């Protein structure tokens, strides 16, 4: 067993295993042909907001990908709460349910849904302070729904965004904006993205080219309930380059501001701060999951 980068517990084959247990071999279909889906929830400050929605989405991803979702969402939730209690309760955690195909038909590309396996991995992952990021336009684009399994949170979708991050880092940026095939903004390389102009919030309308995130939808709802106008529409990169504020939403950081786009500084503005305050108030309303 190889060591894990941080304290980790994984529920696999009916038991909790500490560290980084081997769950795939070189003949496992997912290990070499990427037939896997996953999801990610967060535990922090005693809270795991929208844990139930993340546990429901992993099963939808499996169905949309063609795997067999053999764990009821309620069981995912119960296991996650059980696993959280194996930690100290102080350190933030990442909660990652996974499905993958073990076998392919004839040893080839077409995977066998009946060979679906699963695990739940929970590990310490501190919540970074939202110090802000510098972003730029990526030369890479998101795939189209007819060219990739975009209706699932599939592992095979992430190498494209990974190479976009590498390219942006090489140019001195923390993150990058990817456009869709039509040239409209889709998302950041690892999060959904919002912009503010004249106190109105704009965000790309879901068109099947990017993940319509759970945290994204939560923030849109909270802002609208607070009386903020949020418009989902097609947005060119130029709108972001000229925006008053740009911020992101995602499971890992929840909400984070952009402080530079290309060579132009950006302020950490009042709409971002309002969105962050609203989200944390919502998270606290969930109560303790211990």
Number of domain units in the chain: 2
- The two tokens of residue 259 are 């402080």
Residues 149 and 238 in one domain: yes
Instruction: Tell me which DSSP letter residue 50 carries.
Output: T
| Spatial separation of the C-alpha atoms in residues 186 and 210, rounded to whole Å | 6
Residues 70 and 37 in one domain: yes
Helix (H) or strand (E) holding 196: strand 192-197
For residue 237, the SS3 value is helix
Sign of CA dihedral 121, 122, 126, 127: positive
Residues 13 and 77 in one domain: yes
Domain-terminating residue out of 59, 89, 124: 124
Residues 108 and 21 in one domain: yes
pLDDT, residue 290, reads 62
Residues 107 and 138 in one domain: no
Domain-terminating residue out of 124, 155, 181: 124
Residue 1 domain-assigned (yes or no): no
Domain-terminating residue out of 104, 124, 144: 124
194 touches 248 (CB < 8 A): yes
Residue holding tokens 């296991």? 79
Residues 98 and 28 in one domain: yes
CATH number of the domain enclosing 235: 3.20.10.10
Which of 19, 153, 9 is CA-nearest to residue 81? 9
pLDDT, residue 124, reads 98
For residue 94, the SS3 value is strand
Helix (H) or strand (E) holding 55: helix 51-65
Residue 3 domain-assigned (yes or no): no
Residues 81 and 202 in one domain: no
pLDDT, residue 116, reads 98
CATH number of the domain enclosing 88: 3.30.470.10
pLDDT, residue 3, reads 83
Domain range for 62? 8-124
Reading the chain (290 residues) residue by residue, the pLDDT tens digits are 668 899 999 999 999 999 999 999 999 999 999 999 999 999 999 999 999 999 999 999 999 999 999 999 999 999 999 999 999 999 999 999 999 999 999 889 999 999 999 999 999 999 988 899 999 999 999 999 999 999 999 999 999 999 999 999 999 999 999 999 999 999 999 999 999 999 999 999 999 999 999 999 999 999 999 999 999 999 999 999 999 999 999 999 999 999 999 999 999 999 999 999 999 999 998 767 76
Residues 168 and 240 in one domain: yes
Could you tell me how many residues make up the chain? 290
| Spatial separation of the C-alpha atoms in residues 61 and 149, rounded to whole Å | 9
Residue 2 domain-assigned (yes or no): no
| Spatial separation of the C-alpha atoms in residues 252 and 186, rounded to whole Å | 18
Residues 97 and 188 in one domain: no
Instruction: Supply the Cα-derived Rg of the chain in whole angstroms.
Output: 19
Residue 19 domain-assigned (yes or no): yes
User: Which residues have a Cβ under 8 Å from the Cβ of 266 and sit 6 or more positions away?
Assistant: 132, 243, 245, 246, 257, 258, 259, 260
| Spatial separation of the C-alpha atoms in residues 262 and 251, rounded to whole Å | 25
């Amino acid at each position: 067993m190889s060591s894990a980068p941080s304290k980790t517990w994984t529920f696999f084959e009916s038991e909790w295993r500490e560290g980084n247990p081997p769950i795939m071999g070189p003949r496992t279909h997912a290990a070499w042909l990427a037939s896997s889906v996953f999801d990610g929830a967060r535990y922090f400050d005693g809270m795991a907001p929208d844990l139930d929605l993340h546990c429901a989405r992993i099963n939808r991803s499996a169905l949309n990908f063609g795997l067999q979702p053999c764990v009821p969402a309620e069981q995912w939730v119960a296991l996650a709460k059980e696993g959280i209690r194996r930690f100290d309760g102080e350190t933030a955690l990442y909660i990652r349910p996974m499905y993958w195909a073990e076998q392919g038909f004839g040893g080839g590309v077409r995977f066998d849904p009946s060979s679906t396996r699963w695990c739940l991995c929970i590990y310490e992952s501190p919540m970074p302070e939202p110090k802000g990021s510098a972003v730029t336009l990526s030369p890479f684009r998101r795939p189209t729904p007819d060219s990739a399994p975009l209706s699932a949170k599939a592992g095979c979708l992430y190498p494209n965004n990974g190479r976009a991050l590498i390219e942006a880092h090489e140019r001195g940026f923390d993150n990058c904006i990817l456009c869709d095939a039509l040239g409209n903004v889709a998302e950041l390389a690892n999060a959904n993205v919002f912009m503010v102009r004249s106190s109105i919030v704009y965000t790309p309308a879901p068109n099947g080219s990017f993940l319509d995130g759970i945290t994204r939808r939560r923030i849109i709802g909270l802002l609208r309930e607070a009386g903020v106008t949020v418009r989902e529409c097609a947005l060119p990169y130029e709108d972001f380059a000229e925006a008053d504020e740009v911020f992101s939403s995602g499971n890992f950081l929840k909400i984070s501001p952009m402080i530079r786009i290309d060579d132009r500084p950006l302020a950490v503005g009042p709409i971002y701060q309002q969105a962050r305050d609203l989200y944390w108030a919502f998270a606290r309303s969930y109560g303790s999951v211990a």
